[in-house]
């Protein structure tokens, strides 16, 4: 495949992983899934790359539990913040301070607020193209908005509906964690942030939807309504799923 490919393999509280690739390199964002599921999806996508780099956003199990198996793929370089690598007991990983260049990719790690050691979101640049993958954050910083603005693909957390969370079965302490500044974004928070990031070329993918406190219809409806009511431009909008992930996106290299 010429150009750039993007697919979110899985998204949700039971596991997250995303693949981004060109003719030379495969970039993996998080590995909270089984190796079997990963290998099945990349086979479906026809991805066969010798140069594989794994970027880990933070150490929570739904983003990192499969890392112990990823080395079975062969030579896989693992990148994350130093404190995250320490939390995962990875001794041969590479510390990412800000920007990392791999082939035609430049990956920027943007600090986010979450109850983890040193969590980040990722902005991936490929020539004039830009992809943002970010979830697990309690609020959206101006730095993240500035870095992500105008992304061709914006994979962005819309974790919960506040009313569903407050009237659901989660205990109070867990509700407070999710609603706090080091928790997760609500649909409304996601919509407001996306409205500051999206442009006419932006394909929006809503990620990390709670299975207990959200539904794809609620998340999609809330975000779409917010954007359309404010005449915010975007190219497309979809939800990513726990089992099936996102649709396949391709971007030309012009």
- The pTM of the full predicted model, rounded to 2 decimals, is 0.96
Confidence of residue 50 (pLDDT cuts 50, 70, 90): confident
Alpha carbon separation from 99 to 60, 66, 155 (Å, rounded): 23, 24, 19
Q: Is the pLDDT of residue 75 over 80?
A: no
Q: Is the pLDDT of residue 72 over 80?
A: no
Give the pLDDT score at 254.
67
Contact yes or no for 42/120 (Cβ under 8 A): no
For residue range 201-241, what is the model confidence (pLDDT) as tens digits?
Answer: 999 999 999 999 999 999 999 999 999 999 999 999 999 99
- The domains found in the chain, sorted by start residue, are 4-244 (3.60.15.10)
19: left (phi over 0), alpha (psi -120 to 50) or beta: beta
Q: Is the pLDDT of residue 194 over 60?
A: yes
User: Please, what sign has the CA dihedral across residues 211, 178, 17, 218?
Assistant: positive
Backbone angles phi, psi at 39, to 5 degrees: -65, -35
Please provide the average confidence, as pLDDT, over all residues in the chain: 95
Give the pLDDT score at 1.
56
Give the pLDDT score at 7.
98
Report the 10 Å Cβ neighbour count for 101: 9
């Amino acid at each position: 495949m010429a150009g750039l490919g993007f697919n979110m393999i899985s998204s949700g509280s039971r596991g997250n992983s995303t693949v981004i690739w060109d003719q030379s390199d495969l970039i993996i964002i998080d590995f909270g899934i089984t190796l079997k599921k990963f290998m099945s999806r990349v086979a479906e996508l026809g991805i066969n790359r010798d140069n594989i780099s794994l970027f880990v956003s933070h150490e929570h199990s739904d983003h990192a539990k499969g890392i112990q198996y990823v080395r079975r793929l062969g030579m896989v370089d693992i990148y994350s913040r130093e404190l995250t690598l320490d939390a995962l007991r990875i001794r041969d990983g590479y510390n990412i301070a800000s920007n990392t260049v791999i082939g035609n990719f430049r990956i920027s790690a943007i600090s986010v607020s979450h109850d983890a050691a040193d969590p980040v979101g990722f902005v991936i640049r490929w020539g004039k193209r830009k992809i943002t993958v970010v979830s697990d954050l309690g609020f959206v910083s101006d730095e993240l908005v500035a870095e992500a603005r105008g992304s061709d693909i914006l994979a962005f957390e819309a974790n919960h509906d506040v009313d569903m969370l407050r009237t659901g079965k989660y205990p109070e302490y867990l509700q407070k964690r999710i609603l706090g500044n080091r928790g997760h974004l609500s649909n409304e928070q996601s919509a407001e942030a996306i409205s500051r990031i999206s442009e006419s070329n932006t394909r929006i993918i809503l990620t990390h939807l709670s299975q207990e406190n959200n539904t794809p219809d609620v998340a999609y409806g809330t975000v779409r309504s917010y954007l359309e009511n404010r005449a915010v431009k975007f190219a497309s909008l979809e939800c990513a799923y726990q089992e099936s992930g996102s649709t396949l996106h391709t971007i030309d290299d012009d």
